[in-house]
Amino acid sequence: MARRKVLITGAAGRIGRVLKDGLKDRYDLRLLYHNTVLPAEPGEEVVVADINDMDRMIEATAGIDSVIHMAGNPSGATPFEVILEANIRGTYTVYEASHRSGVRRVVFASTNHVTGYYEKNGIYTTPDMPARPDSYYGASKAYGEDLGRYYVDAFGLSVICLRIGSFVATDAMRDRKHGSDRILSSWLSHRDAVQLVWRSIEAEGVDFGVYYGISGNTRAYWYIQNAREELGYEPEDDAEEHA
């Protein structure tokens, strides 16, 4: 059976680099860079493009089975004008190009900040609760989830939205003093991130879904049971081990 061909946008970012290394033995990777371009390693295909350039994105998605959309501005302090281009227009371009190129599935890097005001109020949160974003960044990712739902219903694209938590390497966790630190609830380890993404790519019978991207943290206040049941996610790490 031929290996799936997977495009990672934002492949030079913190998460993109981890996914690049963690998925290279499972898939044939096409890596999309923009400002930072890493040298191609054996078996990698590199594309340099702006995600707002529709023609280039159609080229980048040609022949691709699944897109892992990591590109965008991840800062909660980013002004709306920047968010508009990087996270709103760019996300539209990725979905539209994927649709035109016949991509089967898009794994969309959403964020826990889509529901940030529940967290601020100490409310345990499940993916089916209405969005309560805590920033323009969080609102842009809520838009990305809803736009993905539209592309599923209107065009038959499959979209998996991952509301990523605190992405920190295990050795960095060990070097910190936590106490009641938020990260003990919100942590997503590198190996759990890789697993969650490949399970999102390979899950059968799921046209659309929203899942919190965290490890199996004892103190979690975001619900991940649907990721276990629908995607087959089996987190290997628990932030409690580093408390």
Instruction: State the catalytic residues.
Output: 137
* Contacts of the segment 81-88: beta carbons below 8 A, 24+ positions apart: 83/136, 83/137, 83/139, 83/140, 85/52, 86/51, 87/137, 87/140, 87/141, 87/143, 87/144, 88/140, 88/143, 88/144
Helix, strand, coil abundance in the chain, percent, nearest 5: 40, 20, 40
3-state secondary structure of 11: coil
Other CB atoms within a 10 A radius of the CB of residue 21 amount to 13
